Amino acid sequence: MDEYFADLWDRWQHDETKAVRYEHWPDAQLSKCHETVDAYVREHQDCKAIRGAWVQPIGGNGSCLLHAHSLVELPDGEWLDITPLTEQERDSGVKDRRQRANLVFLEHRGTAEQFRQFCKIGQVLWPPAIPDAIEPDFGSSEGLM
């Protein structure tokens, strides 16, 4: 899976992402993007499901959180997010743009099994942190105030 996440990160670094519009869908379930998109596509047969990752920059050092996510592709090719991030979006359709402002999407390029594994994990910090290099010595009081 490391190669899969490294590829997503590399594509993000090369700006292969896409900003996506959110649209309220009354039947959408909070935190159930794959199920919500599948239900939408069943009702709108001219649309299709797009699997991939939300990318959320972290800390300004080139790291990001990769979130497994699904979108809807409309007949005109536009990608649409119908899964609410907040209860407010779910209940009223009101958009909290602050939560979505830094999110961009990368389409899944890989096997179905890779995406299933990604979904089991849910989200990944990439590149992974290397805590061994900075692990503090809690056995001494050196450096403590």
- Per-residue pLDDT averaged across 1-8, rounded? 93
- Using the predicted structure, report yes or no on whether residue 5 has a pLDDT greater than 90: yes
Dihedral over alpha carbons 36, 38, 42, 44 (to 10 degrees): 70
- Using the predicted structure, report yes or no on whether residue 7 has a pLDDT greater than 90: yes
Domain segments of the chain: what residues?
A: 2-130
pTM of the model: 0.78
The pLDDT tens digits of the residues spanning 123-133 come to 999 998 655 44
Q: Where are the beta strands (DSSP E) in the chain?
A: 21-22, 48-58, 63-73, 79-81, 104-107, 123-126
The pLDDT tens digits of the residues spanning 107-127 come to 999 999 999 999 999 999 999
Cβ atoms within 10 A of the Cβ of 57, count? 14
**pLDDT score of 93:** 56
If 0-12 CB within 10 Å is exposed, 13-18 middle and 19+ buried, where does residue 19 land? exposed
Helix axes 112-121, 2-13, angle to 10 degrees: 90
Residue position matching structure tokens 């993007």: 33
| Closest to 81 in 3D by CA, of 118, 16, 17, 36 | 36
